[in-house]
Each structure stands twice: as C-alpha cells, then as structure tokens.
Amino acid sequence: MSSQSSSFGMIRTISCHDLFNMTALPKLKLLAGERKLSNIISRVNIMEVPDIQNWVQHNEFLITTGFSYQNNLDEFLTLIPYLVEKGVSAFAIKPKRFITEIPQSVIDCAEHYGLPLFELAEDTVFSNVVREVMEKVVSSETEHIMKLQDRLALVSNLMIQDHSISTLIEKIEKLIGNPLAVVDSRGQLITGKQNGQLFEFYYEQLLLKDTTLLMNLQKSCLDLIDMNGEQINIHVFNLWDSEKEPLRTIVLEANNICDELDSATVSHIQPYLNIRVRSEVTYLQVKNKYFDDFLQDWLNGHIKSLEELNVKGELYQLEDLASQHYQIAIVNFYSSLSARPDYSTLGALNKHEYESRFMFTIKEGKLIVIIPSEQDCEQATEQSLILLRKLLEKVLQTKQFSLCVGEIFPPIKLPDALEDVERLYVATNACCEKSDNVTWDKLGIYSVLTLLPAHKNIDKFLVQFIQPIIDYDQLHHSNLLHTLKSYFLMGCNIKSTAQHMFTHYNTVVYRLDKIKAILDISFDDSEIQLKLLLALKLYEMSQTI
C-alpha cells in the first residue's frame, strides 16, 4: 500500500494542492489526476534524460521540458506507469520550447493512472520552482521535527515520573488521539484501562492475519472490521529487542488519521515502552512469586490465625479474607496433550479481577483455584463457576477440562478443603466423570471409596481379586481385565458387553469363564460379584493417584 493511497506514513508537508499558491508557478494548469492532488511532495527533480524512470524518487515532484521525448511523444505513455510505480507525486511539463503541446493521449494516460499532470507556463523558471518548493518542504519538516521532539520530551518526563505501563499508554493515547496497545514478547496484550475490551476485539482479528508479514515489517497497516461492520485501519509497529522477541505497538485509527507525526512518535517511543514493559514484567514476576508463596502457605496450613491471614492478604490488595468461606477447585484436563499452565499463566490468571476474586496456584503439577464462596448459597456458587470457566477458557485457550469443585470450608481450614478436593480429583478420574463441574454428589460409590484410608487390607483385597487377572493378561497378552470392566459397565449382560466391545458373544463368555477359573469364584454368588466390583473400582482409583 503506497503512501499516495493511504494515510499511513503520510508526511506532514506540502501536497499537490499547495503548488497552485506558489509564486514560482504562475498560470499553473492541471491537466489530469485531480483525485490525487492530496499526494505529498517531499522533493523536486528536474529531468531531461531519456531514462527518467531510473532516477526518480518516492514523493517527488518531477518537472521537465520534454526535451528527451520531443521526437517521440508516445514514449510518455510508457513513462507515466513507471512514475506511478515509483511513487512520484506529480509530473509537470513545460511545452512550447521543445514540445508544441501536450498530446491528449498523454493527458488521458495520466488520468487513467491517477498521476497529477500539470502544464507549466512558458516563463516558468525551474530553479525558482526548486527553491520555493524545497523551502516549504524544509519549513514543514522542521515544524514536524520540533513537534516530534516535544512529544518525545513529554514521554521522557512521563517515564521519569515512573508511571505504570497502563497509565503511560493512556497518556500516549491522548498525545496521538487514537487508542494504543502493546503486545509483549509473550504475546500478552497490554492496554490502558479504557480500551482493554476494544483491543481484545481487534486483536483476535489481528491474530488471523499473516503473522509472517506482521513479524517482518517494521510498520504495517491492515484493514479490520469494527464492531459495526465498518472497515477500520490498524497500524502495527515492530521493535526487535532480539530477533525472536519483537515488541509490537498497535494503533487503532478510531478517532483520527494516523499521520506521519503520529507514526514517527510511536516508532521513537517504542524503546521507552520496551523498557517500561520489561521493568513491569520483572516486577510482576517477583510480585507473583511472593503471592504464590502466600497461597502455598495458606494451603499448607502455615497461616495460623485469621488476623495473620488478613494482614498478609492486604499486601496483595485482598481485603478481609478471613470474613469469607472458600471452596477449592482443581482443573482436570481431559487430555494429557493439553498444555499445562506454568507460572507465567498463573500471572495472567491472577491479574484478572471479577466479582468473585479467584486465586490460582500450582500444586504437584495441578492447577488449583481458591474460590470465595457464600455458605448455603448455591446460586452464587454457580455464577462464580460460570465466570471461572470463562476466564480459564480465555487464558488457557482450551475448553477441554472439567472443574473438580470441593466442599465449602472456613478460611483457616483451607488445608482440609485441599485434602477434600484432591480426593474428589482422584475419584473423578477413576470414574471418568466428564461434567463441566464435578462435585461429590455426582460420583456415586466413589464418594464413599475415597474416604477409605490407605491400609494393607486394601492391598490384600486387590491382590486377591485383581492382581491374578493382571498377571494373566501380561503373560498371555489377553484382555480379561477390560472385559470384566465392560461386563459390570453393561449391567452384567453378556450380549451388551459383546456389542460394547465389538467382540463375539462366545469370546466374552470364554473370557468370563477364564476369570472365574483364575480367581476360583462363581458369578452366581452376589457377594462375590460385589467384592469383584469394589476391587475393580479400588484398582481404578489407585491408578489415578
């Protein structure tokens, strides 16, 4: 996208419109290209050589007498597309001396390609044109540089005042008149307080764009769709602190055109933003580490009184923690391939504030959530879990998980709440429960079995009823244990078991007879069936610990 057709990169200097007001260009006549009179002029060139196209520059005002083309005016028809491709702003020809008049075919060609074509008066002095145009260009660019310096000085002062990155962004937004956001090297979107949701809407669209293009260009302008379905420009600036970790600054053209002064401002303040972002990231990492230590102490029972809990909570802007009750949830991912959260993810989770203030930590590789809860208020708990799931889906970028939600406990009993939900987590995985929110009342017999303490009698029970089947399967590469599980799952119906396993009826009968023989039991005895079923469930639970 060239600067002739876009506001992006537009220099605050003179345009083709201003040529009509110059004393060095009396009786200037526009022949073609009126729709492009807003083209910017940053230099002037006089050309009287046949290969003009090899020497012209972007945003140039090209003037000529046509000396090189006087014997073949049709060569102008070839020249004009080259000039447009090179980004020439305007083309002026002074006829009479070498060219009697400018052919209509040349005028039509310039109009077709959108190149402003002027006819110069016969008494036009080229040196005067160069002097006057360049004086205005230099004057305008000097003014531009002074404004840029004022802006950079203001941002430097803001840096010295040690504003947060969010406040700094808000100040810069007022400076350039448009919303601005920063994307750090981890892909985290950083915005001012007013435009967070606005940028999240556009950032999702931005991620669908060509990321290679966005990464490789120092500046780029993209067309996105706003909330009303209208097209809007978004400008992306890259700063490479290292090859693999660019800092991106995004400007949304929501209020004003992002002109060259605004673009230059953003480009020059990116190093300042990078310093502030890195400083704040380091600070947050330290703060998050101390906050995590506090949560771990709370869960491990190292906080002995309600007063101590309140004092430590206030260090992290958590008021009156001792006045509430709490539930603990464990995030249970369905697949082992799901990305497990790390401590940077914890930081992203803990910085979100909702009506219910969730607290996140990682314990033994599991993502733990401490949920403020009201006793005997199921509706409030359900609303909190809805908010929690939305937050997790947004930050973790997956819906493939359930929440194991324990019972409500008073604040000083949080270690008991953790023990409760860990048993629930084990039972949930043993019975393969896939509800969005898993609580004890959904687990049937497993809610009782998890209360059994570890004891050698349980081991003996498994050795008697399960281990012989496992040994046989390993020795003969058979599938007896899976057949037994399916048999009980299908209500002890052999036909249903065969259909469930896609196995012949007689094969299931053979396997069940083999199990009876190995264990020396009869399935006709209901007491034996109950023992066998309990052994299976205890074994499944032991495999999830």
Q: Where are the domains of the chain?
A: 14-138, 162-282, 300-446, 456-544
Q: pLDDT tens-digit profile of 55-94?
A: 889 999 999 998 988 888 888 999 999 999 999 999 999 9
pTM of structure: 0.55
The interaxial angle of helices 456-465 and 526-544, nearest 10 deg, is 120
Residue 276 has pLDDT above 60, yes or no: yes
What does the pLDDT average to over 468-487? 92
Q: pLDDT tens-digit profile of 496-522?
A: 999 999 999 999 999 999 999 999 898
262 vs 143: CA distance, rounded Å: 14
Class of the 14-138 domain?
Answer: alpha beta
- The pLDDT value given to residue 472: 93
Mean pLDDT of the chain: 84
Query: What stretch of H or E contains 325?
Result: strand 325-333
According to CATH, the topology of domain 162-282 is Beta-Lactamase (3.30.450)
Nearest residue to 102 (alpha-carbon basis) of 132, 125, 123, 122 = 122
445 vs 450: CA distance, rounded Å: 9
Name the CA radius of gyration of the chain, rounded: 37
- The pLDDT value given to residue 398: 87
Residue 151 has pLDDT above 80, yes or no: yes
**Cα(first)–Cα(last) distance of the chain, in Å?**
59
Is 460 buried (19+), middle (13-18) or exposed (0-12) by CB count in 10 A?
Answer: exposed
Q: pLDDT tens-digit profile of 187-242?
A: 778 888 888 888 878 777 776 665 554 555 556 777 677 667 778 888 888 876 55
513 vs 531: CA distance, rounded Å: 17
Residue 395 has pLDDT above 60, yes or no: yes
Q: How many of the other CB atoms lie within 10 Å of CB of 43? A: 17
Residue 131 has pLDDT above 70, yes or no: yes
What does the pLDDT average to over 142-151? 87
Sign of CA dihedral 189, 204, 386, 327: negative
pLDDT band with cut points at 50, 70 and 90 for residue 544: low
Looking at 192-278, which runs of residues are DSSP E strands? 219-225, 231-240, 246-252
Nearest residue to 406 (alpha-carbon basis) of 389, 394, 391, 423 = 423
Residue 244 has pLDDT above 70, yes or no: no
- The pLDDT value given to residue 383: 84
347 vs 130: CA distance, rounded Å: 59
Residue 254 has pLDDT above 60, yes or no: yes
Tokens of residue 543, six digits = 């495999």
Strand partners, 235: 221, 251
pLDDT band with cut points at 50, 70 and 90 for residue 525: confident
Strand partners, 220: 236
- The b-or-e profile of 261-280 (16+ CB within 10 A means b, else e) is bbbbbbbebbebbbebbeeb
- The pLDDT value given to residue 237: 85
Matching CATH topology for 14-138 and 300-446? no
Residue 283 has pLDDT above 70, yes or no: yes
Q: Name the percent of the chain lying above pLDDT 70.
A: 88
Of 322 and 430, the structure prediction assigns the larger pLDDT to 322
Sign of CA dihedral 407, 412, 416, 422: positive
- The pLDDT value given to residue 7: 36
What does the pLDDT average to over 424-443? 81
The structural architecture, per CATH, of the domain 300-446 is 2-Layer Sandwich (3.30)
Helix/strand/coil for 509: helix
Residue 309 has pLDDT above 90, yes or no: yes
